[in-house]
């Protein structure tokens, strides 16, 4: 029978729409938003100035290939700009990759607590998201490989992962890649790469440089503080860049985003300050929250995953309500199969201290 109104393609209505972190606390004068992994340092003042300078040109279309941005990224990382593609946030690129490489009935593997955009973009293309088990809240090569079938077309890993903060050492990423069939596309989402200080970590550049079936996505939303502008980039083999260029919006990145993005990338002192701030306060938060008798998963990114007990009155849900009533906004993780945990972004010194004090009170430690 013909439907009486337009129907979305199969898969679309199976999507659980993305749940963003809270940004308001009704009735509270001062809000500390630690729910979206934004930088407490804000964007580089040079990026803000570059953004303002574009105001006189708002009537002009952007340069469609984001050439100046790609060249700046190329200079900063020693990469060929022809193998870079920019997007309206890395979300845009993840979507485009799924659209280009997944069809009805295909499978894409992600991990159980992996970034929730992966199942969303997979279902949106009529394909099936397949979740691999994790070990200690960390993506596991063998668990992913176990799920590879003749229908597998893509594997998504966030490295480090949001919301767990854990990462796969580069040797493991290389092993995963080595064992995957050559026609399977490995997507390494390195949204938090700039924060990682580990000797055994690599964002994926080397793998992309030397293989035909790996891409790496990056973002300006995190350490560069440009989340509002929506700017991300992907480094990939030429044939994948050529495919994505065919389907992306012709002006998918705005001129204010490019102007601010170039200035942010070139202000290495500001980025270094953000990295140093994170290093200090990530360690502090991990230790101080740990002292309260709640477990913190060790993180390589700019946030921590905090696990609460099952005890009535002390659950993650209770903690979320208590903290919100004081204007401290953390990220609830029911949509990530982590109902007993909250994710907290490393904030300003003031926000971090206030949050830990409130958590201590909540746990009855002060
Ligand atoms: C792992 C991961 N990938 C991608 C993104 C999307 O970032 P963007 O703002 O570039 O779309 C996020 C944002 O939270 C993220 O955590």
Q: Give 183-217 pLDDT, tens digit per residue.
A: 999 999 999 999 999 999 999 999 999 999 999 99
- pLDDT confidence of residue 23: 87
Residues in the chain: 366
Atom of ligand 1 nearest to the CA of 92: 11
Atom of ligand 1 nearest to the CA of 115: 1
Backbone dihedral region for residue 184 (phi beyond 0: left; psi -120 to 50: alpha; all else: beta): beta
- pLDDT confidence of residue 19: 83
Percent residues over pLDDT 90 in the chain = 94
Helices and strands (H and E) in the chain: how many: 12, 15
Tell me: pLDDT of 366 over 80. no
Tell me: pLDDT of 1 over 80. no
202 lines ligand 1 (CB under 6 A): no
Percent residues over pLDDT 70 in the chain = 100
Average pLDDT, the chain: 96
158 lines ligand 1 (CB under 6 A): yes
Return d(Cα 163, Cα 192) in angstroms, integer.
11
Spatial neighbors of 177 by CB under 8 A, at least 6 apart, are 186, 207, 211, 213, 214
- pLDDT confidence of residue 17: 87
Spatial neighbors of 298 by CB under 8 A, at least 6 apart, are 165, 166, 286
Return d(Cα 80, Cα 75) in angstroms, integer.
9
Average pLDDT of the segment spanning 96-103:
98
- pLDDT confidence of residue 48: 98
Between CA 46 and CA 54, with CA 50 as vertex, the angle to 5 degrees is 170
* Ligand 1 center to 317 CA (angstroms): 24
- pLDDT confidence of residue 22: 84
* Ligand 1 center to 14 CA (angstroms): 22
93 is written with which tokens? 């690129």
Return d(Cα 357, Cα 349) in angstroms, integer.
12
217-246 b/e (C-beta count within 10 Å ≥ 16 → b): bbbbbbbbbbbebbbbbbbbbeebbebbee
Q: Which residue has the tokens 């919301």?
A: 163
Average pLDDT of the segment spanning 219-244:
98
- Model confidence pLDDT, tens digit, residues 42-73: 999 999 999 999 999 999 999 999 999 999 99
Average pLDDT of the segment spanning 268-282:
98
Average pLDDT of the segment spanning 253-267:
98
**Reported confidence tier of residue 21, pLDDT bands at 50, 70, 90:** confident
**What separation in angstroms does the CA of 342 have from each of 31, 65, 90, 209, 319?**
17, 39, 24, 37, 9
User: Going by CA atoms, what residue is nearest to atom 12 of ligand 1?
Assistant: 191
Atom of ligand 1 nearest to the CA of 87: 10
């Amino acid at each position: 029978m013909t439907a009486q109104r337009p129907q979305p393609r199969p898969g679309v209505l199976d999507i659980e729409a993305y749940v963003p972190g809270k940004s308001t606390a009704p009735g509270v004068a001062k809000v500390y938003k630690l729910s979206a992994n934004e930088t407490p340092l804000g964007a580089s003042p040079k990026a803000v100035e570059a953004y303002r300078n574009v105001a006189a040109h708002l009537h002009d279309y952007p340069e469609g290939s984001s050439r100046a941005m790609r060249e700046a990224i190329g200079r900063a990382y020693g990469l060929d700009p022809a193998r870079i593609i920019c997007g309206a946030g890395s979300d845009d690129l993840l979507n485009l990759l799924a659209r280009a490489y997944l069809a009805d009935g295909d499978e894409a593997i992600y991990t159980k607590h992996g970034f929730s955009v992966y199942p969303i973009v997979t279902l949106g293309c009529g394909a099936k998201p397949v979740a691999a088990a994790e070990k200690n809240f960390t993506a596991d090569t063998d668990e992913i490989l176990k799920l590879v079938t003749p229908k597998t077309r893509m594997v998504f890993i966030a490295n480090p992962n949001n919301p767990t903060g854990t990462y796969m050492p580069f040797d493991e990423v290389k092993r995963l890649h080595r064992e995957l069939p050559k026609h399977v596309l490995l997507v390494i989402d390195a949204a938090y790469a700039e924060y990682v200080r580990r000797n055994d970590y690599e964002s994926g550049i080397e793998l992309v440089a030397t293989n035909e079936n790996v891409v790496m996505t990056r973002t300006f939303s995190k350490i560069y503080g440009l989340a509002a502008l929506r700017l991300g980039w992907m480094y990939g083999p030429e044939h994948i860049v050529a495919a994505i260029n065919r389907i992306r919006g012709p002006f998918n990145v705005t001129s204010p985003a490019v102007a601010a993005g170039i200035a942010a990338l070139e202000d290495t002192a500001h980025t270094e300050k953000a990295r140093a701030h994170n290093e200090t306060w990530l360690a502090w938060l991990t230790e101080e929250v740990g002292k309260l008798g709640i477990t913190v998963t060790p993180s390589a990114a700019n946030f921590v995953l905090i696990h609460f007990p099952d005890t009535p009155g002390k659950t993650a849900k209770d903690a979320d309500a208590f903290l919100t009533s004081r204007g401290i906004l953390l990220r609830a993780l029911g949509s990530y199969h982590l109902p007993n945990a909250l994710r907290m972004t490393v904030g300003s010194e003031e926000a971090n201290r206030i949050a830990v004090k409130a958590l201590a009170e909540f746990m009855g430690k002060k």
